[in-house]
């Protein structure tokens, strides 16, 4: 019994740490409606800063706590600066742009931390005065854990007072309920947003700084905490601080006891709990249904069949692709194969996101399921490559069928979060279910059949499958099915009131996109010969989003252009030391300066030059 009580306390201590991060995230979301990926980066910054400051005041209690608070304040300030300089420009952009932009910040901060603090893991000193244990029912409990246990409720209480007993708090609560109302009350919104960002970032920094005596500080902290914080915020209900508290307790204890029962599935468990909560309460335990729809950005122009000029260009491109093996060396073929795969992957995302308005932040799930489906067939059923290339898409489609059913019930950020959770379930299952997936060791030796073994043959195979897939997707966009989805994106109300079962169509679209991502995944696994859980991880999903954005969401050729440019760019910059920061900078740049993307930009020029017909631009 005493053992379980001690385990319970351990769970409470983690819950408090988690709550500090999650409540800041929830607060920021509530007011600004921005899902801030960079929140994890603030947490990491807090840890690194506190670690550095503590070095100057070894062993001093005042010095230690001074360092923690100072680190949190600096992080709060950095958060506020980022809000003023960057995020302020994108409050009215569609949520997709916001998510991707904050991910760009994640990349930039990652490299900044690497540059400033170095790549080594850092183990900070213990908290002076709290470095011993207390025996409770005979069980040793670290004093520092007890402090954390107390800190969670204390912060909750302080926030409650702040939100309920101050004018600022009242405004924040009002803004959480209804942004427009606060604006119409004549409150200085940007001031309110900046202060909220300061507070939220401060809390994240504090959460990070408090970890210094507990964990070793490293460059992976940001993404691992943000994934957990998302789980907490989504379970609790986005924007709800008490919700974040309850959910943090739930997850903290789940981890503490999960490790006793299912030590090999701790990561999966959290995401499964999240999925279960969302099925029962789509908006989380304490969340409310989103009231106002989010800004949709600029209205897209009607799509038209390719003009003669475009057809000529497309045919020329196809001809070029067909003779490529005669012109270029091996590596160019490898690169071209990659581009084809990613173009199909991006096109499948564009199919649901661009054409159908369903923001998926976890599209990598279906790419990875395609990879694993194909790999399983080869590894466990001794299947051939040809069969595996069918099995992969089917497996991905099956995954999309299951996850899609939940996802299409939501819209906007909530949908984005749920798709992200789905991808995290796939990732964590792949990561932890060693017997099946090999975990981090991956599945190896999945090479093409003999006839497709040469780079040239495999290139033609990829061209046929991925090129064909892209053409099929394009065909579907112009079909009644695709139009119904477009309609659903433009105006769900109208769509339902002309007799279309929008949810069913969206579900089907989700499955189709999953199948095509699965085709890309199947080809990918044979091109690389191996598959690892990383293919389902957040950065892979972001890759797809960036490709679509880079090319232009509102153009049909966007995903293809985006995939090409992205892959070539990656090839160029990934050998540089700070390529993540460069990529992050590009992402942020696109969102702020050129939201229309490359293809969108070319289209605009072409229209101006009279080469393309667009008639009038949309109002």
By CB under 8 A, the residues from 123 to 162 that bind other proteins are 123, 126, 131-133, 140, 142, 145
In the complex with other proteins, which residue's Cβ is closer, 121 or 178?
121
Round the CA-based radius of gyration of the chain to a whole number and report it. 25
Contact flags string 390-429 toward other proteins, x per CB under 8 A:
----------------------------------------
Q: Measured from the CB atom, is 290 or 570 closer to other proteins?
A: 570
Residue 517 Cβ vs other proteins, minimum distance, rounded to whole Å: 17
Minimum CB separation of residue 1 from other proteins in Å reads 12
Contact positions with other proteins (CB under 8 A) in 510-529? 528-529
Among 309, 493, 568, 589, binds other proteins (CB under 8 A): 493
Three-state secondary-structure class, residue 139: strand
Which positions from 533 through 592 interact with other proteins, judged by CB under 8 A? 534-535, 571, 575
Nearest to 548 by CA among 557, 535, 536: 557
The two beta strands, 139-142 and 443-444, are: unpaired
CA 425 to chain CA centroid, Å, is 13
Measured from the CB atom, is 363 or 486 closer to other proteins? 486
In the region spanning residues 14 to 53, those forming contacts with other proteins, defined by CB under 8 A, are 14
Q: Give the integer Cα–Cα distance in Å for 333 and 381.
A: 30
Residue from 120, 178, 180, 572 in contact with other proteins (CB under 8 A)? 120
Cα–Cα distance for residue pair 155/209, rounded to 1 Å: 15
Which of 555, 560, 577, 579 lies closest to 569 in space, CA to CA? 579
* Contacts of other proteins in 310-329 (CB under 8 A): 329
Q: Which stretch binds other proteins (CB under 8 A): 30-38, 200-208, 386-394, 481-489?
A: 481-489
Position among 382, 497, 593, 609 found at the interface with other proteins (CB under 8 A): 497
Q: How far is the CB of 112 from other proteins (least distance, A)?
A: 14
Q: Between residues 40 and 200, which has the closer beta carbon with respect to other proteins?
A: 40
Show contacts with other proteins in window 446-465 (CB under 8 A): 447, 455
CB-wise, 317 or 576, nearer to other proteins?
Answer: 576
Among the listed residues 220, 200, 208, 199, the one whose alpha carbon sits nearest the alpha carbon of residue 51: 208
Site for other proteins in 195-214 (CB under 8 A): 214
Query: Least CB distance from residue 188 to other proteins, whole Å?
Result: 30
Interface with other proteins (CB under 8 A), residue from 39, 363, 379, 486: 486
How are beta strands 530-531 and 443-444 bridged, if at all?
antiparallel
166 lies in the binding site for other proteins (CB under 8 A): no
In sequence order, the 6+-apart residues with CB closer than 8 A to the CB of 77 are: 198, 201
- Chosen residue from 138, 186, 305, 308 binding other proteins by CB under 8 A: 305
End-to-end CA distance of the chain: 68
Q: Minimum Å distance from CB 290 to other proteins?
A: 17
Task: Output the DSSP codes for 191-251.
Answer: HHHHHHHHHHHHHHHHHHHTTTTTS-B-TTHHHHHHHHHHHHHHHH-TT-HHHHHHHHHHH
Hey, which residues does 141 pair with through a beta bridge? Answer: 134
Q: Considering beta carbons, is residue 200 or 213 the nearer one to other proteins? A: 213
CB nearer to other proteins: pick between 24 and 442: 442
Q: Which of the stretches 53-61, 182-190, 239-247, 609-617 binds other proteins when contact is defined by CB under 8 A?
A: 609-617
DSSP code of 451?
Answer: G
| String of DSSP letters for 81-137 | HHHHHTGGGGTTS-HHHHHHHHHHHHHHHHHHHHHHH-SS-B-PPPPTT--SEEEET
């Amino acid at each position: 019994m005493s053992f379980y009580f001690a385990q319970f306390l351990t769970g409470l201590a983690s819950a408090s740490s988690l709550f500090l991060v999650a409540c800041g995230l929830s607060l920021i979301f509530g007011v600004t409606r921005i899902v801030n990926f960079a929140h994890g980066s603030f947490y990491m910054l807090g840890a690194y800063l506190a670690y550095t400051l503590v070095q100057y005041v070894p062993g001093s209690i005042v010095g230690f706590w001074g360092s923690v608070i100072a680190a949190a304040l600096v992080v709060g300030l950095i958060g506020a600066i980022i809000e003023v300089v960057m995020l302020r420009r994108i409050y009215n952009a569609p949520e997709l742009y916001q998510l991707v932009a904050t991910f760009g910040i994640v990349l930039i901060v990652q490299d900044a931390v690497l540059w400033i603090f170095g790549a080594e893991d850092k183990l900070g000193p213990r908290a002076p005065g709290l470095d011993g244990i207390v025996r409770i029912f005979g069980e040793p409990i670290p004093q520092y854990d007890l402090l954390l246990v107390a800190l969670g409720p204390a912060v909750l209480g302080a926030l409650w007072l702040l939100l309920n007993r101050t004018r600022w708090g009242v405004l924040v609560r009002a803004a959480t309920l209804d942004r427009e109302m606060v604006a119409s009350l004549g409150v200085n919104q940007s001031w309110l947003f900046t202060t909220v960002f300061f507070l939220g970032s401060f809390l994240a920094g504090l959460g990070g700084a408090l970890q210094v005596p507990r964990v070793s500080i490293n460059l992976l902290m940001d993404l691992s905490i943000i994934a957990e914080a998302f789980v907490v915020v989504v379970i609790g209900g986005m924007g709800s601080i008490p919700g974040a508290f309850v959910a943090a307790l739930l997850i903290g204890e789940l981890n503490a006891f999960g490790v006793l029962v299912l030590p090999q599935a701790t990561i999966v468990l959290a995401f499964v709990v999240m999925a279960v909560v969302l099925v029962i309460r789509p908006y989380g335990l304490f969340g409310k249904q989103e009231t106002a729809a989010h800004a949709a950005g600029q209205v897209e122009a009607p799509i038209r069949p390719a003009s003669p000029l475009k057809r000529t260009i497309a045919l020329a491109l196809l001809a070029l692709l067909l003779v490529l093996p005669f012109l270029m060396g091996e590596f160019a073929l490898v690169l071209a194969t990659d581009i084809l795969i990613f173009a199909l992957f991006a096109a499948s995302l564009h199919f649901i996101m661009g054409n159908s308005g369903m923001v998926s932040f976890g599209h990598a799930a279906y790419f990875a399921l395609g990879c694993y489906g194909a790999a399983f067939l080869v590894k466990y059923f001794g299947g051939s490559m040809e069969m595996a290339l069918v099995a992969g898409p089917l497996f991905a489609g099956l995954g999309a069928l299951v996850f899609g059913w939940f996802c299409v019930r939501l819209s906007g950020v909530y949908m984005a979060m749920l798709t992200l959770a789905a991808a995290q379930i796939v990732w964590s299952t792949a990561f932890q279910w060693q017997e099946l997936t090999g975990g981090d060791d991956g599945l190896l030796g999945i090479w093409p059949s003999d006839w497709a073994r040469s780079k040239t043959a495999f290139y033609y195979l990829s061209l046929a499958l991925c090129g064909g897939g892209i053409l099929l997707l394009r065909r579907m966009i112009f079909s009644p099915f695709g139009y119904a989805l477009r309609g659903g994106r433009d105006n769900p109300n109208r769509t339902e009131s002309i007799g279309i079962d929008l949810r069913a169509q969206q579900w089907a679209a989700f499955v189709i996109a999953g199948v095509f991502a699965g085709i890309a995944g199947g080809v990918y696994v044979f091109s690389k010969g191996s598959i690892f859980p990383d293919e389902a991880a957040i950065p892979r999903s972001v890759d797809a989003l960036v490709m679509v954005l880079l090319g232009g969401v509102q153009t049909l050729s966007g995903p293809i252009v985006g995939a090409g440019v992205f892959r070539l760019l990656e090839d160029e910059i990934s050998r540089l030391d700070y390529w993540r920061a460069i990529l992050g900078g590009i992402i942020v740049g696109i969102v702020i300066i050129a939201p229309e993307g490359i293809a969108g930009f070319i289209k605009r020029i072409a229209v101006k030059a009279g080469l393309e017909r667009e008639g009038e631009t949309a109002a």
